[in-house]
Amino acid sequence: MILVSACLVGCHCRYDGGTKERPDLVKLIRQGRAVPVCPEQMGGLPTPRVPAEIVGGDGEAVLDGRARVVNSAGDDVTAQFLAGAREALRMAEAAGASVAILKERSPSCGSAAIYDGTFSGATVPGAGVTAALLRRHGVRVYSEETWDGGTGNAHT
């Protein structure tokens, strides 16, 4: 089973209420091979919501208490991001998911790049909170940009 960011399969759950639907990933849902998750909604944040970025590090640093997630209004939403990551992990464990395909650059789901915390559109290497937690528990995390369709050869 595969965990997939819900915005990638047509759910209007992004911070702006939009979606980034990918037909190849929708197909996985329809085949019963994937389960959609939106960690930010599962952590209690509304849709639409004020954009948030990680300040002071990446998802690993958030998990270790060395960084936080702050929205563009200045509100600390770290607790909601941590709660959503834990719920996504529970979903992965319940579904027996060993792979996740998550939305790149998201403060929850980014697997290799996230926004830099300045709300300027600049990115830095690093993982989002959910991606980092899933990896800590043995889930292989890909982005929609690196997912190879299941052949085992991720695009770099």
Question: What angle do helix axes 78-95 and 129-136 make, rounded to 10 degrees?
Answer: 40
In eight-state DSSP terms, residue 98 is: -
Per-residue confidence (pLDDT) for residue 150, from 0 to 100? 57
- State pTM to two decimals: 0.94
Do 115 and 122 form a contact (C-beta atoms < 8 A)?
yes
Domain total in the chain: 1
Residue 150 lies in a domain: no
Residue 102 lies in a domain: yes
Type of residue found at 109 = C
Planar angle of CA 126, 132, 135, nearest 5 degrees: 120
pLDDT band of 152, cuts 50, 70, 90: very low
93: domain range?
2-143
Residue 154 lies in a domain: no
Q: Cα 71 from chain centroid?
A: 16
Planar angle of CA 55, 57, 60, nearest 5 degrees: 125
Residue 149 lies in a domain: no
Over range 138-150, report the average pLDDT: 90
Residue 88 lies in a domain: yes
Q: Is the pLDDT of residue 136 over 50?
A: yes
Question: What is the C-alpha to C-alpha distance for residues 20 and 22, in angstroms, rounded to an integer?
Answer: 7
Q: Cα 6 from chain centroid?
A: 9
